[in-house]
Amino acid sequence: MKYFLSLCTTGLIMGVIYALMALGLTLIFSILRVINFAHGEFYMLGGYAAYYILGTFTGLHPLLAVPVAGLIAALIGLAFELVFLRPIHQDRIERPDEYAVLVTFGLSFFVMNLALAVFGPYPHRPPSFFEGAVNLGIVRVSADRLTASALSLILLGLLLLVINKTWVGKALRAVSQDKDAAAVVGINQLSMNTTAFALGAGLAGVAGALLAPSFSVTPDVGAVPSTRSYVIIVLGGMGSIPGSILGGVLIGLVESLGAGYFPDPSRALNYKTVFGLVIFALVLLFRPTGLFGREES
């Protein structure tokens, strides 16, 4: 029982961070109707940003690099949206659905190779937020991961507040529910698109910066978290904000419990991601709309 509870705790701690990253993907999808196949690369850029900020300003507390890294990722996302995605919504692109899949994948390919050329293949690790580990009674967790998780939780709360209570949040929800009706009441869809994409990219960047001290950064570091985010948004229901949060936590639990009870501990870590694929397949088989999904038009 104690083992089970300790696995649940570590699962929840990671799940909150997964949820943060998946929420970025969901925001982008619900507003732009585009799956951002470069989401992992914004995560990676956030990690490198944190590393180089802390390398340049050595006196800075590592936590202060996180918002700046998020901002940098958001700015890159903003520029990409303006140049490559805005034309979709101005009807300047043939076959917009196909274009959206390919151009975000193309961005991922370009950015990953750019990172390889500029930063090299070797892992970079920014300094820890706090050294050591914290004893939670049933399990010891590294202070870095606990910090990352706590900050993710706060950020998730803030985002929910913004989405539910502010004008921008209402406007975003309006666009996600009905583009035309939103336009009628004077919401500029194009600027909402840009806002959502920049916000989503920024969230991936923050997640990358938060986990960089724990897992280091390499050019391909985004592959696993982005794959996981795809599973989460399908599980939660494409475009559903509560779905991506619950999905993130569930995947965190499944990975932790699955790896913890795997018969062969030496191979357990490899199978961690396999559980995600199994869940993906099960959702498609039995509940294609996901936990909170609505029927796609």
Partner 1 sequence: MTVNIPSTTEPRPRSGKSAKRRFWFRTDLVVALVALVITLLVPLFVQTYWLHVLIVAYFYAILASSWSLLAGYGGQFSFGHMAFMAIGGYTSGLLGRFVNLPPLPGILLGTLAAGLAGWAIGALCLRFKASYLALFTIAFSEILRTLIRGETQITRGDHGLHVAPLFGEGVISRIPYYYTMLAVLVACLLFMYWLANSRVGMFLRAVREDEEAAAARGVNIVHYKVLAFVITSMIAGLAGGFFAHYITILTPNIMIIPQMGLVIAMAIIGGVESLISAAFGGMIIQIGLEVLREFGAWRMVIFGGLLVITLRFARNGLLAPLFQRLFGLGPRAELREEATTDGA
Residue closest to 188 by CA, chosen among 169, 172, 202: 172
Residues 104-143 that bind partner 1 (CB under 8 A): 105-114, 116-117
Which of 3, 110 has the CB closer to partner 1? 110
* Rounded Cα gap, residues 41 and 201, in angstroms: 9
Q: At its nearest, how many Å lie between partner 1 and the CB of residue 36?
A: 11
Which of 118, 185 has the CB closer to partner 1? 118
| Selected binder of partner 1 within 276, 290, 292, 293 (CB under 8 A) | 276
* Rounded Cα gap, residues 249 and 19, in angstroms: 6
Residues 17-46 that bind partner 1 (CB under 8 A): 35, 37
Q: At its nearest, how many Å lie between partner 1 and the CB of residue 45?
A: 15
Q: At its nearest, how many Å lie between partner 1 and the CB of residue 267?
A: 6
| Selected binder of partner 1 within 5, 79, 277, 287 (CB under 8 A) | 277
Residues 80-109 that bind partner 1 (CB under 8 A): 83-84, 87, 94-95, 97-99, 101-103, 105-109
With beta carbons less than 8 A apart as the criterion, state whether 236 and 97 touch. no
| Selected binder of partner 1 within 61, 165, 267, 294 (CB under 8 A) | 267
Residue 214 engages partner 1 in binding (rule: CB under 8 A): no
Pattern 221-260, partner 1, x by CB under 8 A: --xx--x--xx--x--------------------------
Tokens of 209: 């910066």
**Backbone phi, psi, residue 60, to 5°:** -65, 140
Site residues, partner 1 (CB under 8 A): 35, 37, 83-84, 87, 94-95, 97-99, 101-103, 105-114, 116-117, 220, 223-224, 227, 230-231, 234, 267, 269-271, 273-274, 276-277, 280-281, 284-285, 288, 296
